[in-house]
Copies of this chain bind each other. A is one copy, B any other.
Amino acid sequence: MTMPTGLAHECVSLVPLFNQLTHADKETIESIVHQHHYQPGETIFSAGDSLDSLMIIASGQVKVYQLAENGKEQLLYLLKTGDFEGESALFSQTTRQSFGEALLPTAICQIERSDFQMLMQQYPSISINLLNEFGHRLSKLEKRTTQATTSSIESRLADYLVETSAGLKETTFKLPLKKKDLATYLGTTPETISRKLKDFEDQGFITQGGGKKVTILDSDALALIS
């Protein structure tokens, strides 16, 4: 399944994970990655799959979500180019607990568990980079959990708009998710998102254009919503 394209090179050079390595080191890594391509809507992995490789997004976009017992979907992460996914742990778990689905045409590089563990032994900087990334994810998840259990939907949506805008450094932007997915991300329903956005518009905090476009007019007011 390994292909003779430049994609392996992209994977390795793109990812912050391998930042500190020399060119030669990166080449040895390139030789052990495997590649796959996925179409929008295609499932990349499912809960229950055995977890035997680290996946790196070479291009495209992947949504990672869990299903609750009642069948409800919870969007956990949205992975973009350069992000990676190893179920938070190529270490502890052996079975996946979440689903991955391509939202765009997506190319993925995989490194086998054993190969990756060898790499970590050989290049300690990889572990440090991984710890960094895990630390960030943990902090963000802690904040999300706190928000999910203590704040209103209104507040969570406002916060999401402000953060997304800040992340893109644009006050006008297109929502990166379908409302349905945004709803599961925030732990609510599309209907409620619709209503709250309308409320925000009525209060003059935002304006909505066609095609999921949003303009933030008063981010301070949004940030103050409790």
Nearest to A156 among chain B residues (CB) is B149
Point out the residues of chain B lying under 8 angstroms from A130, CB to CB.
131
Residues of A within 8 A of B (CB): 66, 68-70, 72-74, 76, 87-93, 97-98, 120-121, 124, 127-128, 130-132, 134-139, 141-151, 155, 184, 186-188, 226
Q: How many copies does the complex hold?
A: 2
> Chain B nearest CB: distance from A54 CB in Å?
12
Point out the residues of chain B lying under 8 angstroms from A120, CB to CB.
124, 127-128
CB contact between A142 and one of B76, B128, B143 (< 8 Å): that residue: B76
Q: Give the secondary structure class of A's interface.
A: helix
Docked-complex contact B134 and A138, CB < 8 angstroms:
yes
Nearest to A223 among chain B residues (CB) is B69
**What are 26 pairs between A and B in contact, CB < 8 Å?**
A68-B151, A70-B151, A70-B155, A72-B151, A73-B150, A88-B138, A89-B135, A89-B136, A89-B138, A89-B139, A91-B131, A91-B132, A91-B135, A92-B135, A92-B139, A97-B142, A97-B143, A120-B124, A120-B127, A127-B131, A134-B135, A138-B138, A141-B142, A148-B148, A148-B187, A149-B187
Docked-complex contact A93 and B139, CB < 8 angstroms:
yes
Please, how many angstroms separate the alpha-carbon atoms of A120 and B150 in the complex?
Answer: 37
CB contact between A127 and one of B98, B128, B144 (< 8 Å): that residue: B128
Nearest to A224 among chain B residues (CB) is B69
Please, how many angstroms separate the alpha-carbon atoms of A87 and B145 in the complex?
Answer: 15
With A145-B144, A149-B187 as contacts: A135 and B93 at CB distance below 8 Å: yes
